């Protein structure tokens, strides 16, 4: 993937997405002794960065294949929620049939939106099972499987986040990015590396409860980890053993750090109380790295707040525990 692919994605998705703001955070700047600015993908149309990759992948599918009859013209995906919602939105706008396999534990805020956009929503026990079922459905029916993270067009769309950050703040030194399947951090690393000649550091932040990349990088290859319950549900789950994002992260991401569960909850509260920004657990995880003491003093730090699709009941519980 090249920067040309990323700029092609940018042109492709421009009519369908929102350019999100990069705003200064006095709270985090004082806490970290740095200039900290928040890239608010929580304000994206479907309330997460996932819309960028979903629109690019579905639009590219139409360019390459055109409108086809029957299941061969259908697309299928697996999602913890945000990618499914974004794909459903994109498929509705572009006139494609979509099947989404998603874990039963996914937040209602995400599941209800997927159904509202007309996708065929199919439950699974876990995220890993969602991926297995989606791939099996594609093999059996001839539908096209679009991974939520291990897909070149999805990654190129996500990479446009970094393009906007570098345009708005050429002096940025570090970009903090939450990591689940690795599509966003891979795309951001490719784009930032190309646009800054490798000057900008990319720091991936995983939740303690699901350290798939942390353990894989330590082992030198993809490993299966034990996944624990987490408020950052969008980051939970093991990587697809065939994912392209592990090698991209291994080559291009400066370092990978872990955020404890308590810091993620504190980040959700802090964003709401200090910034009046609503963030889901996954969306607040990059902020949690700063709360947990990641050293960035004196640097220019952009933090991607990647999503806002949190159930109101969960948000209320997190806020009340503070």
Written as six digits, the tokens of 35 are 């200039």
pLDDT tens per residue, the chain (322 residues)? 899 999 999 999 999 999 999 999 999 999 999 999 999 999 999 999 999 999 999 999 988 876 554 445 689 999 888 999 999 999 998 889 999 999 888 888 788 888 889 899 998 998 889 999 999 999 999 999 999 999 999 999 999 999 999 999 999 999 999 999 999 999 999 999 999 999 999 999 999 999 999 999 999 999 999 999 999 999 998 988 999 999 999 999 999 999 999 999 999 999 999 999 999 999 999 999 999 999 999 999 999 999 999 999 999 999 998 6
Q: What distance in Å separates the CA atoms of residue 233 and residue 223, rounded to the nearest whole number? A: 20
The structure's pTM equals 0.93
180-192 burial string, b = 16+ CB within 10 Å, else e? Answer: bbbbbbbbbbbbb
Quickly tell me which residue has 């995220």 as its tokens. Answer: 127
Whether residue 195 contacts residue 162, with contact meaning beta carbons closer than 8 Å, is answered with yes
Domain 3-49+152-320: give its CATH architecture: 3-Layer(aba) Sandwich (3.40)
Q: What distance in Å separates the CA atoms of residue 314 and residue 167, rounded to the nearest whole number? A: 35
- Domain boundaries for CATH 3.40.50.1100 within the chain: 3-49+152-320, 51-145
Whether residue 163 contacts residue 188, with contact meaning beta carbons closer than 8 Å, is answered with no
Distances (CA, A) of 211 to 102, 192, 297, 299: 21, 24, 26, 26
Whether residue 31 contacts residue 62, with contact meaning beta carbons closer than 8 Å, is answered with no
Find the helix or strand (DSSP H, E) in which 301 lies: strand 300-305
15 by DSSP, 3-state: which?
coil
Class of domain 51-145: alpha beta
């Amino acid at each position: 993937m090249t920067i040309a692919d990323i700029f092609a994605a940018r042109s492709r998705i421009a009519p369908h997405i929102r350019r999100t703001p990069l705003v200064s955070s006095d709270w985090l700047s004082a806490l970290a002794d740095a200039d900290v600015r928040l890239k608010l993908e929580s304000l994206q149309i479907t309330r997460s960065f996932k819309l960028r990759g979903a629109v690019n992948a579905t639009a590219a599918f139409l360019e390459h294949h055109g409108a086809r009859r029957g299941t061969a013209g259908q697309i299928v995906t697996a999602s913890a929620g945000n990618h499914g919602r974004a794909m459903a939105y994109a498929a509705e706008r572009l006139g494609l049939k979509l099947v989404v396999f998603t874990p039963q534990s996914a937040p209602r805020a995400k599941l209800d939106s997927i159904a509202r956009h007309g996708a065929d929503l199919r439950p699974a026990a876990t995220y890993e099972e969602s991926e297995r079922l989606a791939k099996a459905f594609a093999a059996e029916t001839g539908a096209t499987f679009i991974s939520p993270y291990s897909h070149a067009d999805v990654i190129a769309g996500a990479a446009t986040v970094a393009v906007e950050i570098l345009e708005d703040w050429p002096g940025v030194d570090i970009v903090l990015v939450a990591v689940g399947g690795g599509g966003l951090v891979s795309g951001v690393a490719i784009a930032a590396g190309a646009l800054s000649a490798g000057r900008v550091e990319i720091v991936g932040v995983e939740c303690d409860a699901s350290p798939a990349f942390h353990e894989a990088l330590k082992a030198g290859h993809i490993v299966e980890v034990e996944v624990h319950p987490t408020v950052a549900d969008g980051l939970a789950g093991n990587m697809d053993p065939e994912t392209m994002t592990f090698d991209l992260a291994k080559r291009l991401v400066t370092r990978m750090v872990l955020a404890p569960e308590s810091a993620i909850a504190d980040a959700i509260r802090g964003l709401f109380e200090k910034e009046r920004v609503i963030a889901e657990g996954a969306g607040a995880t990059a902020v949690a790295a700063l709360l947990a003491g990641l050293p960035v003093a004196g640097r220019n730090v952009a933090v991607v707040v990647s999503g806002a699709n949190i159930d109101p009941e969960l948000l209320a519980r997190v806020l009340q525990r503070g």
